[in-house]
């Protein structure tokens, strides 16, 4: 898998507050203010009920301010905030479920730049709010009428330091720990000084790995763009080559996405993460697979080998998880490196991805490059087009009209399908842009699809 595309551009300030099924995100001090955070947290507390609400954050410098504002909002409606500290978002979600909490709030803007932050709302079962639940919460927030408590009814915030250990044990329980430990893998990790910094080295050492750490200081700023794209993890590639590591793992800021570097120092691309996890898991746990509409065709090819159905959803963890629960999927994920394994918890989890890859390497045993070579080869290219929200529908109509007669899929935006390639144009959930994705057997074919689409959209 090869991936490329325009990296990032400045989002116009008037569009910097984004409310969606993914939560509420914005630029701290501009669109994301303490007042907004406290009010949204109060709405969430009313929505969940007066009980324990777990709160965790990534390492952004604004995290503590956002957390205190959220705690104030929760206290004002009679909830008991439980601060679990800096933790990867999948660890927080698992803890919410295991503790029987009424809900959770993850304070993280994931792959967005450091000036951004966000609230990710977690339901009582440890999963992201469903689309209808997120809509109900937003309605409650806009109404602004909350059931407040008086001073005598207010509870005290609590802390809980068991989140990381709980999550580590849960992930390790689903793999063959002994076989992984017996291999004594040398693993290079780049945690981007994010939430993984406090968890990943210990997690890998618990599996008997020799760990070569890179960017694992939670008190330092992000040293790179937190999205673990190939162009952002060149330092990890060099570390793998220089050290002779068996594999390299790169995380995003909140630890739910994983990119892999092979033993030759070559990035495999985030789509390969989900494909490798599916390839390994289906060998012993066949069943339905759910991925989003922008995920590589490698998953379909793998599932076909095992006679397993594949279901596709709109982009977004909430959509994938909801479909997984409906069809009792054995594994799923999103093509951005987010593996979802219900056997641990139905959410994107980079630790699950690491454990499955290490187990696959131990079971054969093979090099990661050889394991990847067993999968079909496609090239995926991405780009994006900044546009006014009012222009999105007309632009999508242009795409639809230009490909009349082709096989079209409307699961998320417009996806044009051919026998061995596809093009998708869809609206982003988190930025005022159209996202363009093309996948084909060769880079030339994929680039031609992207170029054609951009020509249509930019007459």
Catalytic residues: 110
Tokens matching residue 238? 């060099």
Beta strands in 342-432 (DSSP E): 345-348, 379-386, 407-409, 414-417, 422-427
The rounded distance, in Å, linking the Cα atoms of 340 and 348 is 5
The rounded distance, in Å, linking the Cα atoms of 25 and 133 is 17
**Burial grade of 147 (CB within 10 A; 0-12, 13-18, 19 or more):** exposed
Tokens matching residue 383? 């780009």
CB 256, CB 246: distance < 8 Å: no
H or E element that contains 55: strand 52-57
The rounded distance, in Å, linking the Cα atoms of 70 and 56 is 11
The rounded distance, in Å, linking the Cα atoms of 1 and 322 is 27
- The upper half-sphere exposure of residue 290, i.e. CA atoms within 13 Å in the direction of its Cβ, equals 24
Q: What's 209's DSSP letter? A: -
123 phi and psi angles, rounded to 5 deg: -80, 175
* Segments in 188-260 forming alpha helices (H): 200-206, 234-243
Tokens matching residue 425? 């144009």
The rounded distance, in Å, linking the Cα atoms of 447 and 452 is 8
CB atoms within 10 A of CB 206: 16
Residues sharing a CB contact under 8 Å with residue 87, sequence separation 6 or more, in sequence order: 56, 57, 95, 163, 164, 167, 195, 198, 199
Measure the CA angle with vertex 250, ends 248 and 255; round to 5°: 135
3-state secondary structure of 98: helix
The size of the chain, in residues, is 459
Order of all β-strands in the sheet with 310-313:
310-313, 289-292, 331-334, 338-341, 345-348
**CA nearest neighbour of 106 among 53, 142, 156:** 53
383 - beta bridge partners? 436
**CA nearest neighbour of 339 among 323, 350, 325, 327:** 350
């Amino acid at each position: 898998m090869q991936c490329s595309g325009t990296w990032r551009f400045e989002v116009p300030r008037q569009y910097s507050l984004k409310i969606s099924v993914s939560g509420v995100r914005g630029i701290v001090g501009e669109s994301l203010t303490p007042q907004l955070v406290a009010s949204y947290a109060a709405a969430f507390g009313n929505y969940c009920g007066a009980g324990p609400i777990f709160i965790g954050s990534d390492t952004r410098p604004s995290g503590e301010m956002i957390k205190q504002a959220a705690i104030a909002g929760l206290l004002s409606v009679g909830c008991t905030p439980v601060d679990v500290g800096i933790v990867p978002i999948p660890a927080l979600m698992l803890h919410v479920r295991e503790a029987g909490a009424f809900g959770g709030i993850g304070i993280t803007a994931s792959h967005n730049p450091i000036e951004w932050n966000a609230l990710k709302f977690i339901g009582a079962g440890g999963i992201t709010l469903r689309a209808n639940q997120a809509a109900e919460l937003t309605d409650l927030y806009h109404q602004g009428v909350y059931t407040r408590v008086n001073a005598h009814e207010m509870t005290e915030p609590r802390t809980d330091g068991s989140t990381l250990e709980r999550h580590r044990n849960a992930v390790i329980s689903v793999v063959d720990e002994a076989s992984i430990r017996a291999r004594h893998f040398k693993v290079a990790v780049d945690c981007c000084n994010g939430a993984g910094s406090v968890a990943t080295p210990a997690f890998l050492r618990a599996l008997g790995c020799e760990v070569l750490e890179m960017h694992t200081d939670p008190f330092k700023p992000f040293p790179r763009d937190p999205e673990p794209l190939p162009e952002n993890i060149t330092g990890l590639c060099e570390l793998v080559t220089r050290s002779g590591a068996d594999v390299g793992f790169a995380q995003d800021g909140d630890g739910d996405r994983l990119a892999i570097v092979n033993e030759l120092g070559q990035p495999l691309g985030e789509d390969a993460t989900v494909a490798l996890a599916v390839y390994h898991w289906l060998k012993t746990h066949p069943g339905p697979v759910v991925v989003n509409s922008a995920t590589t065709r490698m998953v379909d090819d793998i599932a076909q080998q095992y006679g397993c159905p594949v279901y596709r959803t709109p982009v977004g963890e909430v959509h994938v998880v909801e479909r997984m629960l409906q069809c009792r999927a054995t594994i799923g994920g999103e093509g951005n490196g987010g593996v979802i394994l219900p056997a641990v918890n139905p959410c994107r989890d980079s630790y699950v991805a690491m454990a499955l890859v290490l187990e696959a390497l131990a079971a054969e045993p093979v090099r990661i490059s050889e394991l990847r070579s067993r999968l079909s080869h496609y090239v995926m290219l991405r780009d994006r087009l900044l546009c006014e929200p009012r222009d999105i529908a007309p632009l999508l109509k242009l795409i639809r009209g230009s490909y009349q007669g082709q096989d079209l899929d409307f699961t998320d935006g417009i996806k044009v399908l051919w026998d061995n390639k596809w093009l998708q144009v869809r609206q982003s959930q988190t930025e005022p842009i159209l996202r363009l994705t093309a996948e084909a057997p060769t880079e030339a074919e994929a680039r031609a699809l992207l170029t054609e689409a951009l020509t249509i959209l930019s007459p």
